[in-house]
Amino acid sequence: MPHLTQYDLDGDGKITAADVQIVKNAVGSKRGTPRYNERWDFNHDGEISGADLTAIAQHLGEDIHGETVED
């Protein structure tokens, strides 16, 4: 099981639509550009892409302890 804290981008203890939106807003950004954030590049390929969006979306509705929460 992945360490879910990596997907809690706003630090509220849950993976919610707000966290997904952070990654969605950065899709298309690459290392060295203003919108790129290494923390959001879950597959570490130097670009925020659909793969990173899918990675976080798979955990939507979980808290950092793996429990289900409502958004």
Residue 42 sits in a domain whose CATH number is 1.10.1330.10
**Structural domain harbouring 38:** 4-57
pLDDT in tens, 16-58: 999 999 999 999 999 999 999 999 999 999 999 999 999 999 9
In a domain, 49, yes or no: yes
Domains of the chain: total? 1
Distance CA 25, CA 41 (A): 13
Q: Does the pLDDT value for residue 69 go beyond 70? A: no
Instruction: Concatenate the DSSP letters of all residues of 11-60 into one string.
Output: SSSB--HHHHHHHHHHTT-BTTSTT--GGG-TT-SSB--HHHHHHHHTTT
In a domain, 62, yes or no: no
Of 42 and 66, more confident: 42
Distance CA 4, CA 29 (A): 23
In a domain, 68, yes or no: no
How far the first Cα of the chain sits from its last, in Å, is 21
- pTM value is 0.87
